[in-house]
Structure 1
């Protein structure tokens, strides 16, 4: 019985870690897109001036 419990705990921890990893990845992608848009606008507006 204890083996089954340890397997379940391991699976739950793995799922939580994956969710955290995907959340961090999503934040990183959002920041990268934001920076890319910022630089694009800076270049675009800078060229227009």
Structure 2
């Protein structure tokens, strides 16, 4: 089975509970499409080198 790595960026003003809910949402999408999440890591709040344009 091929292994893939994903990084999810969210706004800095979201709470820890919201981050967990987003993780569960993406995990559900992956598993619904036949994938398997083997490991998750919380990297905390980081400052990006530049602002992302919307």
Higher relative contact order (CA 8 A, sep 6+): 2
Q: Which one has a bigger Cα radius of gyration?
A: 1
Structure 1 or 2: larger helix share?
Answer: 1
